[in-house]
Amino acid sequence: MIYREAGDFKTTYRDDSQTFPIRFDRRAYYALVAVAFLVLPFVMNDYWASAVFVPFLIYSIAAIGLNILTGYCGQVSLGTGGFMAVGAYAAYKLMTAFPELNIFFVVLLSGGVTAGVGVLFGLPSLRIKGFYLAVATLAAQFFLVWLFNKVPWFYNYSASGQINAPERTIFGIIVTGPSTPAWSKYLFCLTILFILSWVARNLTRGEVGRTWMAIRDMDIAAEIIGVNPLKAKLTAFAVSSFFVGVAGALFFAVYLGAVEVTEAFGIQKSFLVLFMIIIGGLGSMFGSFAGAAFLVLLPVFLKNALVGGLGWPTDLAAHLELMIVGALIIVFLIAEPHGIAALWRTAKEKLRLWPFPH
Amino acid sequence: MPEQLLFAMEVTLNGLMAGVLYSLVALGFVLIYKASGIFNYAQGVMALFAALTLVGLMDGQVPFAHLINATFGTDVHHFGWHIPALPAILLTAGVMVVFAIIVERLILRHLVNQEPIILFMATIGLAYFLEGFGDVMWGSDIKKLDVGLPQGISETIDTVTYNWFGYGFFIDRLDIAATLVAAILVVTLTLFSQYSKQGRALRAVADDHQAALSVGISLRFIWVLVWSIAGIVALVAGVMWGAKSGVQFSLSLIALKALPVLMLGGFTSIPGAIVGGLIIGVGEKLFEFAVGPMIGGATENWFAYVLALVFLVFRPQGLFGERIIERV
Amino acid sequence: MLDETEEGHVTEDGRQIGGVLMEMRNITLRFGGVVAIKDISFDIRKGEIRAIIGPNGAGKSSMLNVISGFYHPQEGEIWFKGARRKPMKPYQVARQGIARTFQNIALFEGMSVIDNIMTGRLTHMRSGLFSQALWWGPAEREELENREVVERIIDFLEIQHIRKTPVARLPYGLKKRVELARALAAEPELLLLDEPMAGMNVEEKEDMSRFILDVNDEFGTTIALIEHDMGVVMDLSDRVVVMDYGRKIGDGPPEEIRNNQDVIDAYLGVAHD
C-alpha cells in the first residue's frame, strides 16, 4: 500500500524526468546510500571486502561502462578485459612516474587514457557492424594484453613482468598498497562508483543517451533524423572505455595490488562483464548493478555450498560454476531476454497495484 | 636458393597446414550460420567436448567419476576396457548428434525469431555450460589422444626437399593427414549439399527461411541436421588438434581463431572459410617469422584479429560475401 | 502550371505559397546497371504540399532518399534555398532543416514515445558531453526547454495518453502518428512523408490528412509526400509529380494530372514498348 504513484503528482517536467519518480523508491535509494556510506565502512572486514564488496563495486563500474556501449549504443564489445588492462597499466605508469599525484586523479586519468584507446579501437565501428564488430573488438583484447606482456616499458622492466601498486593515500588514509585497510578500499571504490553512476545516469537520460539508443535501435533512421553516427559511436566508445578503464585501475591498484596481465585481464574477463550486463539487463543502470552483484555472489555462494557445505574439491566446484553460469545465461535469454532489470520492473508494476490488481 | 627464402617457404607450408585446421573449425561456423543465422560461439568448445568424449570412450573412463567420487566417497575412474579408435569415433559422432537434438529441443526451439545478438549470446552460454560439463564428465587434466594417425617428421619430404634445395623441410606427417582429412570432409559436404535431398533443403533454408517453410521443409529437422554436421566437423577438428597438442582447454580457443577466418571469408561462404583459414594460417606464421623476433614474439596471439580488423575496414562484407545495399 | 519566375501566390484557401525552396535538376540514380531514376527535374515551393505519385517501383522512394541524402545520384544537381547542395551525409541534410517519415515505420523500438519524439529535437540541442554528464545547469535547462516543444507537438497530434508507452507496444496507426511527431519535433522547413497513410483504415486516413493539412497551415511547413491513395493525393496536394519506371511523366496541379493521358496510361497499365 505504501508503494504508490497516485497522489504523487508531477507539476513540472523537471519532476517528471527525475531518476526515481516514485516517492518510495526515492526514499529507499536515500536509505541505501546512507547505509553504504555511513554504516558498512564500520562493519567491513577483510573477507567481506575482498570476496564480495570491493569486487562488486569495481565490476559495477565495468558493467555500467560496457552497458553504455552494448546496452545503450548497441555495439557489442569483447574487448573489456583489454580495456581494463589499459586502465590498470595507465594507473601503474602514472603512479610510478608521478608519485605525488593524488590517487583519485590517477584513477580518473587512467580512465581518460583508456577512453583514448577505446576511441581508437572504436573507429572501425563506422564500417563494421554487429558480429563483425564484436570479433573486431577481440583484436583489441588480444593485442592489448600481448602489448602489456611483451613491452617491458609498461611494467617498468620488472623481472617478474608483474606490476605492483605502491602505497598512496587520500587525506592521510591509505587506499592502495599492501597495508590498505578493508574499509578504506571499500569506501574509495564506493565513492568512485557513486560519482560515476551519477554521471552515467545523467548521460543516459539526456540527449547523448537518446542518440546512443537511436543508433542501437535503427542506425539508418538515426542518421536520417540528424545523428552523426561516427560521433555517437565514438562518444559511446569513449565514455564506455573511461568507465572500464577506471574499473581496471581500481581492480589493479586497490583490489589486487599486484597484477599479471594475461591472468587478470584475459578474454575471460571480457566475457564475465558481458554476462553481467546480459543477466542484469542490457540498457539498464539497475541491471548493471544487479548483474555484477549476481555474478560476484554466485561463485562465493557456490563455493560455500559445495566446498564448505558438501566438502567437494574446489576444481569440481569451479566446473559446476561454469555450467551453472552458462545454463543461467541461456535460461535468462529464453525466459527474460532483458534480464534481472526486466523482472524487477515487472515485480514493481505488480507491487504498484497490490493489493488491488484491478 | 637463399636460405631465408627457403625458411620462408617452409614456414608458409606449415602455415597452410595450420590454416587447414582453422578452416575446419570455421566450416562448422559457416554451416550453422547459413542454415539458421546463428553465430555459434560454442563451435570451439564442441570440438573440445568431442575430443574429450573420444578420449574418454577409448580409455574406458567412467563419466562423472569426479562427481561420483565426491558425492559417494567412492574411488571409481576406469571401466578397465579400451575401445578401438574407429568405433569410438563413431560413438562420439553419435554423442554429437544427441547433443544437436538436445540443443534444438532445449534452446533453439525457444529462441525462434529472437534477434541474432540474443542467439549469439545464448551460444556463449552454451559454450560455458559445455565446457564445464565436459570437465565434470571427463575431468580437466590434459589428455593424450592417439587415434593412429601418422606422427612425426615426414622423412620423404625431408629427403626430397634436401635433394632439391639442399635444405630439408620439416613437415609433420600429422599435418599432412589433417590436410587430407579436411579436404575429404569439404568435398563430402559440398557433394552432400549439392546433390542430396537434405542438402537441397539446407540450401533452401539458407536462402530464405519463410519460403523454405512454405514449401514444407521442417526447420527443426534442418537445425538438428546442421548442428549434427557441425558437431561432426567439430569432432574431426578436435581429433586433429587433439592429436597435435593434446586435449585441453586451449582447444576451445581455436574457435576464437576461427572468427577472424570467418571475417575474412564472409560468414556465409564455404570457399571463403577455406581461403580465409589458409590466409590466416600462412599470414600469422609468416608474420611471426619475419616481424615477431623484432617485437617480442608470440604475435600469433593477435595477428589474425588485427589482420581481419584492418581488412574489414576496407571491405566490410569479407572476401566472398555479397555487397550489402542498405535500404530504409 | 505555375510560372517559374513567379515569386509566390496565395491559394484559394488562403495559404501563402512562396518561391522555390528545393529544386531537383536532371537527377539520375543508378544501382549497378539498374536505373532507378532517369533525368528527373522538379521543384518544391515554400509552403506548398507537393505529392510524388506513381505505380510500384516507379522510383518515388528512391527520389525521397535522394532528397534526404541517403542515396547519392550519379548525375544532376540538388538546389536547396537558392544554393547548390554539395554531396552530404543524411545527418547533414537533417541539420539543414529537412525531416522525414518512412514507408516502413522507422521508430526506435526500444524507447518510449516521449524519447522517440525528443530525438527529433537533437538537431536543436547544443550542450556538450561534459555539461550533460553534470546535468545541473545548461544541460538540464536545454532538456526542459526542448521537452516543452515536444509536449506542444504531443498535444497537437493528440497522443498525450501514450506519452510514456514503449513504442514497441503501440498499434500501427499510432506508430505512424508518433513518427510524424518525431519529424515535426525537428521543426523542419521541408517535411518528407513516405506513404503516410499506407495500411490505414478510412478513419485513420482522415485523421492523418487533417494533421498534414494542419501542419502545413499552422506551421507553414513545406511538405513533399508519396502516397498511393489517389483520392487523398488529389485532395491534399497543391501540385503533383508523376513518376513511372524512373521517369517523370507528369507535373502539375491535381486537376491537370487527372486529365494527363500518360498518367492515365501508366495507372491503367498500357503496355510499354
Per-residue pLDDT band at B256 (split at 50, 70, 90): confident
Between chains, do A199 and C133 touch, taking CB under 8 Å as contact?
yes
CA neighbor of A299 nearest in space, from A281, A279, A323:
A323
- Please answer whether residues A201 and A191 qualify as being in contact, where contact means their C-beta atoms are separated by less than 8 angstroms: no
- Please answer whether residues B165 and B1 qualify as being in contact, where contact means their C-beta atoms are separated by less than 8 angstroms: yes
The one-letter amino acid code at A49 reads A
Per-residue pLDDT band at C1 (split at 50, 70, 90): very low
Q: Which residues of B touch C70 (CB under 8 A)?
A: 328
Rounded mean pLDDT of chain A?
A: 90
- Please answer whether residues B285 and B12 qualify as being in contact, where contact means their C-beta atoms are separated by less than 8 angstroms: yes
Q: How far apart are CA A176 and CA A303, in angstroms?
A: 28
Per-residue pLDDT band at C4 (split at 50, 70, 90): very low
| Fold of the domain built from segment(s) C1-97+188-273 | Rossmann fold (3.40.50)
State residue C76's pLDDT score.
94
Q: DSSP H helical segments within chain A, as ranges?
A: 13-16, 23-34, 40-43, 46-48, 54-66, 80-97, 103-122, 130-150, 182-205, 207-217, 219-224, 229-250, 261-264, 267-280, 285-302, 314-335, 339-353
Rg of the Cα trace of chain C?
19
Between chains, do C110 and A216 touch, taking CB under 8 Å as contact?
yes
- Please answer whether residues B288 and B18 qualify as being in contact, where contact means their C-beta atoms are separated by less than 8 angstroms: no
Give the full edge-to-edge strand order of the sheet including C239-244. C98-100, C190-194, C222-226, C49-53, C239-244, C247-252
Q: How far apart are CA B18 and CA B245, in angstroms?
A: 12
- Please answer whether residues C110 and A216 qualify as being in contact, where contact means their C-beta atoms are separated by less than 8 angstroms: yes
Q: Work out how many CB contacts closer than 8 A connect B with C.
A: 7
pTM (2 d.p.): 0.90
Domain edges within chain C: 1-97+188-273, 110-187
A210 to chain C, minimum CA–CA distance in Å?
Answer: 6
Rounded mean pLDDT of chain B?
A: 83
Q: How far apart are CA B240 and CA B251, in angstroms?
A: 11
Cell 559445455 maps to which residue?
B130
Say if residue A124 is exposed, middle or buried (CB neighbours under 10 Å; 0-12, 13-18, 19+). buried
Question: Does B294 contact chain C (CB < 8 Å)?
Answer: no
Mean pLDDT (whole number) for A311-333: 86
| Model confidence at C125: pLDDT above 50 | yes
Mean pLDDT (whole number) for C55-70: 91
Task: Between A184 and B314, name the one with better pLDDT.
Answer: A184
Angle between helix B250-265 and B219-245 (nearest 10): 120
| Model confidence at B96: pLDDT above 90 | yes
Q: Which residues of B touch C31 (CB under 8 A)?
A: 325
Between chains, do A329 and B301 touch, taking CB under 8 Å as contact?
no
Between chains, do B110 and A321 touch, taking CB under 8 Å as contact?
no
C99 to chain A, minimum CA–CA distance in Å?
Answer: 6
Q: How far apart are CA C267 and CA C246, in angstroms?
A: 14
- Please answer whether residues C192 and C67 qualify as being in contact, where contact means their C-beta atoms are separated by less than 8 angstroms: yes
Mean pLDDT (whole number) for B103-123: 84
Cα-to-chain-centroid distance, residue B62: 26
Q: What single-letter DSSP state applies at residue C56?
A: T
Tell me which residue in A199, A208, A217 faces C110 most closely, judged by beta carbons. A217
Between chains, do C110 and A226 touch, taking CB under 8 Å as contact?
no
Residues 6 or more apart whose Cβ sits within 8 Å of residue A322: B128, B129, B131, B132, B135
- Please answer whether residues B220 and B204 qualify as being in contact, where contact means their C-beta atoms are separated by less than 8 angstroms: no
Mean pLDDT (whole number) for A165-175: 91
CA neighbor of B49 nearest in space, from B70, B28, B35, B67:
B28
Between chains, do C31 and B328 touch, taking CB under 8 Å as contact?
no
- Please answer whether residues B31 and B229 qualify as being in contact, where contact means their C-beta atoms are separated by less than 8 angstroms: yes
CA neighbor of B97 nearest in space, from B242, B228, B262, B251:
B228
Q: What percent of chain A has pLDDT over 70?
A: 97
- Please answer whether residues B153 and B170 qualify as being in contact, where contact means their C-beta atoms are separated by less than 8 angstroms: yes
3-class SS at A91? Answer: helix
Per-residue pLDDT band at A357 (split at 50, 70, 90): low
| Model confidence at B193: pLDDT above 80 | no
b/e string for C199-211 if b means 16 or more Cβ within 10 A? ebeeebbebbbeb
Total residue count of chain A as it appears in this document: 358
- Please answer whether residues B88 and B58 qualify as being in contact, where contact means their C-beta atoms are separated by less than 8 angstroms: yes
Nearest CA in chain A to B111: A334
A293 to chain B, minimum CA–CA distance in Å?
Answer: 18
Encode pLDDT of A224-236 as tens digits: 999 999 999 999 9
Q: How far apart are CA A174 and CA A176, in angstroms?
A: 6
Tell me which residue in A210, A220, A224 faces C122 most closely, judged by beta carbons. A210
Lowest-confidence segment of A48-52, A189-193, B201-205 by average pLDDT: B201-205
Q: Which residues of B touch A224 (CB under 8 A)?
A: 328
Domain edges within chain B: 3-250
Mean pLDDT (whole number) for A49-72: 96
- Please answer whether residues C100 and C107 qualify as being in contact, where contact means their C-beta atoms are separated by less than 8 angstroms: no
Q: How far apart are CA A233 and CA A220, in angstroms?
A: 13
A57 to chain C, minimum CA–CA distance in Å?
Answer: 20
Q: How far apart are CA A257 and CA C34, in angstroms?
A: 64
| Model confidence at A201: pLDDT above 80 | yes
Which residue of C92, C103, C119, C148 to mutate against A (max A Cβ within 10 Å)? C119
- Please answer whether residues B233 and B185 qualify as being in contact, where contact means their C-beta atoms are separated by less than 8 angstroms: yes
Question: Does C75 contact chain A (CB < 8 Å)?
Answer: no
Mean pLDDT (whole number) for B139-158: 78
Tell me which residue in C70, C109, C110 faces A224 most closely, judged by beta carbons. C70
Mean pLDDT (whole number) for B200-219: 79
Between chains, do C91 and A228 touch, taking CB under 8 Å as contact?
yes
What is the grid cell recorded at A291? Answer: 548483474
Q: What percent of chain C has pLDDT over 90?
A: 67
Give yes or no for a cis peptide into C196 (omega within 30° of 0): no
The one-letter amino acid code at C119 reads T
Question: Does C95 contact chain A (CB < 8 Å)?
Answer: yes
State residue C3's pLDDT score.
45
b/e string for A305-314 if b means 16 or more Cβ within 10 A? ebeeeeebee
Which residue of B67, B249, B312 to mutate against A (max A Cβ within 10 Å)? B312
Say if residue A153 is exposed, middle or buried (CB neighbours under 10 Å; 0-12, 13-18, 19+). exposed
Mean pLDDT (whole number) for B225-247: 86
Mean pLDDT (whole number) for A43-64: 94
- Please answer whether residues A81 and A263 qualify as being in contact, where contact means their C-beta atoms are separated by less than 8 angstroms: no
Pairing mode of beta strands C49-53, C222-226: parallel
CA neighbor of B103 nearest in space, from B213, B228, B199:
B228
Chain B, window 159-198: residues with a beta carbon less than 8 angstroms from a chain C beta carbon: none
Between chains, do C102 and B328 touch, taking CB under 8 Å as contact?
yes
Q: Which residues of A touch C93 (CB under 8 A)?
A: 224
What are the C-alpha distances in Å from A2 to residues A112, A157, A342, B181, C103?
A: 44, 61, 22, 70, 46
3-class SS at C31? Answer: strand
State residue A35's pLDDT score.
93
